[in-house]
Amino acid sequence: MTRGGLALDDAFAAERSRLVGLAYRITGSRAEADDIVQEAWLRWDASDRGAIEKPAAWLTTVTSRLALDRLRSAQHRREAYVGPWLPEAATVEPGPADRAELAESLTVGFLAVLERLGPVERVVFLLADVFATPFDEIAATVGRSPEACCQLASRARRRVREGRPRFASTDADAWRVTNAFLQAVADGDLVAVTELLAPDVVGVSDGGADHRAARHPVLGPDRVARLVVNLTRRGLDLGVELDLREVNGQPAVIARIDGHVVLTAVTSVVDGRIERLWTLVNPEKTATLDLPPVR
């Protein structure tokens, strides 16, 4: 059976990558995104697919509802989380060049800012501003009126705008600066590291309850430089290997011991200097780097 030239059996496969990206942006968890989309598949498989007029819209609604339920259940755990909470690391599948907001919405900084929003606000904002979903479809997803969803999106937009770091596309300069940062850190060159950091640089570390990390954001180039150089010196004594990799669409320094990722430091480079440094030490947050890319 087909609808609109697309076999219904193929409709889910065509949407799967987009659905994983949607669920990941809502929950901030790459592992949970896969679970959510698998549950969406089970519901799709059990449905009367021939009666579904718009498979993509139907799947978006189901995935968003499942992700909203997960986000609500996780809210208490995140409020009790030890230290700063950052999203799980993800590799990113390249998307259309004309949709810069899609790329930005996968960065660690953007996802961290979304934690300011309540679960329904977050879903409404992402559907409206990132996935360009009509408000009548959003209303059906979250159980509110289209007018209420429009107001939620507007309020969420203001809150995100207030908290989001400056966004710069990941270009050759960002990789050059991050590579120089990696070399300076590995050499223990405190002066060189400091010079690569913006005057208002912020370092945020997520180690969870069981792994040592700064419990509060570290502010200023001197303090951030001393922190990363000291951590690296200790790591090198333990046989850490350092290299570069793209994480959440941004350059990142990866530290491995015996092939296992023990630290991921994602950089945001603006005007030739690192303005934000997000460090993941919690192994649950870095293990997802081996999962397929998010679109």
Ranges 200-214, 223-237, 249-263, 267-281: which has the least confidence: 200-214
- Return the sign of the alpha-carbon dihedral for residues 98, 101, 102, 106: positive
Instruction: Identify whether residues 72 and 181 lie together within a single domain.
Output: no
Number of folded domains that form the chain: 2
Q: What is the pLDDT of residue 98?
A: 44
Is residue 243 situated within a structural domain? yes
pLDDT tens by residue, 36-80 = 999 999 999 998 888 888 999 999 999 999 999 999 988 777 766
**CATH number, domain with residue 218:** 3.10.450.50
| Average pLDDT over every residue of 192-212 | 86
Which of 159-173, 225-239, 266-280 shows the lowest mean pLDDT across its residues? 159-173
pLDDT surpasses 80 at 168: no
Domain boundary among 37, 63, 80: 80
Residue 20 lies in a domain: yes
Of 80, 102, 134, which one is at a domain's C-terminal end?
Answer: 80
Q: Decide: helix, strand or coil at residue 241.
A: strand
Q: Which among 57, 80, 103 is the end of a domain?
A: 80
Which residues, at least 6 apart from 47, have a Cβ–Cβ distance to it below 8 Å? 58
| Biggest CA pair distance of the chain | 66
In a domain, residue 233? The reply is yes
Helices (H), 119-198: 119-125, 135-142, 146-163, 172-187, 190-195
* Percent of the chain predicted with pLDDT > 70: 88
Asked if residues 218 and 224 have their Cβ atoms less than 8 Å apart, the reply is: yes
Residue 267 belongs to some domain of the structure = yes
Average pLDDT over every residue of 203-222 = 81
For helices 135-142 and 55-79, angle between their N-to-C axes, nearest 10 degrees:
50
Domain with 249, as residue range(s), is: 172-290
Question: Residues 213-243: pLDDT tens digits?
Answer: 667 899 999 999 998 888 888 777 778 888 8
Look up residue 258 and give its DSSP letter.
T
CA separation for the pair 255, 51 (Å, rounded): 51
- Residue 96 placed within a domain: no
